[in-house]
Amino acid sequence: MILVTCPKETPQYLATEIRNLGFTVDVVHKAGVELTGTFDDCMKLNLWLRTAHRVLYKLGGWKCRTTDEMYARLSEVAWEDVIAADGYVSVISSVKTAVIDNDMYANMRCKDAIVDRIRSKKGIRPDSGSSADRTVVFLYWHDDELIVYLDTSGNVLSNRGYRLHPAKAPLRETLAASIIMATRWSPEFPFVNPMAGSGTLGIEAALMSRNIAPGSLRRNFGFMHCLQFDYKKWDLLLDEAHDVRKSRGAAQIICSDHDARALRLAKDNAKEAGVLENITWKTCEFDQTPVPDVDENPPNIFDDNTSLPVVIMNPEYGLRLGDTEDLKATYGEIGDFFKQRCAGYAGYVFTGNLELAKHVGLRSKRRIPFYTADIDSRLLEFLLYKGGRNTEKTEEQPVEQPAE
């Protein structure tokens, strides 16, 4: 069994990705997706998934009520076939059991079971520590359920490898990909991102447009340090990914920011991702962002299956950054920008401040839930068209309504 983890509120996007790769989804959890697969399948998932955090390969599961029983059950796993005797292993965990109240103790006992088993079989034992850049084991112990996984990702998959310069409160790459998947965008339409910051939304859109496997940007995964790893199979997967990538994406992608330094650093990130030339960059206030001309009254605009050009913004929330009173005016100006410049687009505002969201002043079609870190957030969708209801400002709208 394979468990692929993701942030809360995003498993639906992850499940779609997994199905598109040809796998069958067995179970969708609150923060992950289960499927049946092999160690080699884990390599493909690590290479292609955009919305996943970790790809965990199950090695065993038991009922467990004591730490001694945990040690005994973990000692049954043939670790000598997984981890080199002269290698390195780290243990991470999720522990919620009345048996112990210290995750570090559970990690230590798990590590002891691993290295003691290998030493008994090979005569030497691997080193261990907290680094996640080699073999990583994930221990799950909730109540009396004990499961041990091989973390085939190692470092979390949101670390694509292209972010040379983070901006203030940047979106994680995996969250940015989930947000884009939640919109009405497809690569034949423009994608406009004012307030681009570190450029993550634009870069992820460009990677999608060119069909670039996000894992191809990384040089290291946890599975590479396991004895089952086959370099030839991995090289074949990379070759296949290279063959299907497009030399230039179909999308017209525009990123702007009023901060010239931030945009310069975002361009460095895009260059590292290999998509610098696929994005048009503009230093300007957000309401001066170039917006390509499109049909101002798209047919079937209210059909959720209809793709549309997208303008998407991630303004400050006023929780950790910015001043809330000043931001009320900014959110109102976003509504004006949508109304005056973006007819024919689906407009989106991603925010973690539901009170500020009211000040956009336009009726939202959907309010899609997300979490950014521990902040309850929403992606607000506005359908913008000439002469329609969203070309006129409204009174503040209630934010708390279910997503469609």
Residues 370 and 327 in one domain: yes
> What pTM was computed for the model?
0.91
CATH number at residue 270: 3.40.50.150
pLDDT surpasses 50 at 317: yes
Residues 204 and 140 in one domain: no
* Structural domains in the chain (count): 2
Q: Is residue 45 part of a domain?
A: yes
Q: Is residue 160 part of a domain?
A: no
Residues 276 and 323 in one domain: yes
Q: Is residue 400 part of a domain?
A: no
CATH number at residue 41: 3.30.2130.30
Contacts by 141-144, CB closer than 8 A, 24 or more apart? 141/64, 141/70, 141/93, 141/94, 141/95, 141/96, 141/97, 141/99, 141/106, 142/94, 142/95, 142/96, 142/97, 143/96, 143/97, 143/98, 144/63, 144/64, 144/65, 144/97
Residues 191 and 87 in one domain: no
Q: Domain range for residue 363?
A: 173-211+222-391
Residues 287 and 330 in one domain: yes
Q: Is residue 159 part of a domain?
A: no
Q: What percentage of the chain reaches a pLDDT higher than 70? A: 94
pLDDT score recorded for residue 228: 95
Q: Is residue 404 part of a domain?
A: no
Residues 201 and 339 in one domain: yes
pLDDT score recorded for residue 171: 87
pLDDT digits (tens, 9 = 90+) for 96-143: 998 888 888 999 999 999 999 999 999 999 999 999 999 999 999 999
pLDDT digits (tens, 9 = 90+) for 57-66: 999 999 999 9
pLDDT surpasses 70 at 296: yes
Residues 131 and 247 in one domain: no
pLDDT surpasses 80 at 388: no
Residues 142 and 183 in one domain: no
pLDDT digits (tens, 9 = 90+) for 333-382: 999 999 999 999 999 999 999 889 999 999 999 999 999 878 899 999 99
pLDDT digits (tens, 9 = 90+) for 19-51: 999 999 999 999 999 999 999 999 999 999 999
pLDDT digits (tens, 9 = 90+) for 393-404: 444 444 444 333
Highest mean pLDDT among 214-218, 325-329, 390-394: 214-218
Q: Is residue 402 part of a domain?
A: no
Residues 284 and 378 in one domain: yes
